[in-house]
Structure 1
Amino acid sequence: MGSDAIIELLDDVLDTYEIHASQLCFYVCDHASVNVALANKTLVPMIGCASHQFNLAVQALMREDDDILDKIHDLMVKLNTITNWHHLREADALMPVYRNTTRWISTFSMIDRYFRIYSKLDRIDDQLADVIPTPRENVRLKALFEDLKNLES
């Protein structure tokens, strides 16, 4: 949807709620080109979304640990099979959680789930050994998890 179509939609919504366009003080949005065009065409200032900026900052913080995070994600994908679901249930373990790269909190949740099921992984499937982080990687992962805990609160 282009900026002209969004302007039309915005006009319809404002009309529905009997709001005059002059009452708009600013748009809260990311810097996608369509949003910039919308702000320029309507002469309404655009401010960046604090949540989006925070997410970008946390993503930058996690970038140096991408290799381990990819490994954990691969582990969660392998755990998400019918056979492994059965093994997880037998071990009273929780189901896998995936990382959504656009939401840092999903990475936090994935790491949390990993540590909660880690002690039961040896009872699941021998083929998981290749994707389970090494003890050294676990140390790095725990440090990252502690940093993310501080940001999450």
Structure 2
Amino acid sequence: MFDGWTHAGIHYVALYAVYETAGKLRIPLLGMSPLEDGDQMADAHIKLFKNILDVYDKTSDMVGFLVGDNCATNQSIATKIGIPLVGCASHRFNLAVNKFMEPYDDLLGEVNNLRVELRHENNRAELKKYTDLVPIKRNVTRWSSTLTMVER
């Protein structure tokens, strides 16, 4: 299973193994690394994937399938290394919820902008007089952050 995210302009990729042993599910983190030179293409992911497997003296032919977002890059990775891609159900659910919220994008954008302003130091100090809750802004890749933002 692998996932990527960008923070402060750097794209990171994490790779997990998922397996069962002695009747227990195991999901150890095998590696997490920024992609070199900011390259987010399939070949850069494959190189990282193989480098992480090398650390554990494993090869890609020992991998049964990949779990990741059903994006073009991940499809290309799976095709190039000959391992089936199982699209992540939570990613699909996130896409469906985002589609459902589309008619409210303008309003949600305004609420998010307000939350961003409330996070600034002076505004946050004033807000703290009324609540201990911290303003939450939305993360477009996680529908639950939008729900939490609106609920607060």
* TM-score bin, normalised by smaller chain: 0.5 to 0.7
Q: Does 1:6 align with 2:45?
A: yes
Task: Name the structure 2 match of 1:123.
Answer: none
- The equivalences for 1:25-36 within 5 A come to 25-36=64-75
Pick the aligned partner of 2:98 from 59, 62, 71. 59
Pick closer, same or farther for the CA change 1:88–1:26 going to 2, 3 Å.
Answer: same
Greater relative contact order, per chain length (Cα 8 Å cut-off, separation 6+):
1
Pick closer, same or farther for the CA change 1:35–1:92 going to 2, 3 Å.
Answer: closer
Rg comparison, structure with higher value = 1
Task: Name the structure 1 match of 2:144.
Answer: 105
Pick closer, same or farther for the CA change 1:18–1:76 going to 2, 3 Å.
Answer: same
- The equivalences for 1:81-96 within 5 A come to 81-96=120-135
Shift of 1:107: 0.5
Shift of 1:109: 1.3
Shift of 1:93: 4.9
What count of residue pairs does the alignment treat as equivalent? 113
Higher strand share: 2
Task: Name the structure 2 match of 1:150.
Answer: none
Q: Does 1:41 align with 2:80?
A: yes
Pick the aligned partner of 2:111 from 64, 72, 80. 72
Pick closer, same or farther for the CA change 1:80–1:26 going to 2, 3 Å.
Answer: same
3-state SS of the aligned residue for 1:102? coil
Post-superposition Cα deviations, 1:18-62, rounded to whole Å, max 9, x if no partner, equal 223222111112233322221111111112111111111111121
Distance of 1:70 and 1:50 partners within structure 2: 26
Distance of 2:44 and 2:122 partners within structure 1: 48
Pick the aligned partner of 1:22 from 58, 61, 74. 61
Is there any run of 5+ residues in structure 2 with no aligned partner, and where? 1-38
After TM superposition, the runs of 4+ consecutive aligned structure 1 residues lying more than 6 A away are: none
What RMSD over aligned residues (CA atoms) do the two structures have, in Å? Answer: 1.9
3-state SS of the aligned residue for 2:67? strand
Scaled by the length of structure 1, what TM-score is found?
A: 0.64
Shift of 1:92: 3.2
Is there any run of 5+ residues in structure 1 with no aligned partner, and where? 114-153
Distance of 2:141 and 2:90 partners within structure 1: 11
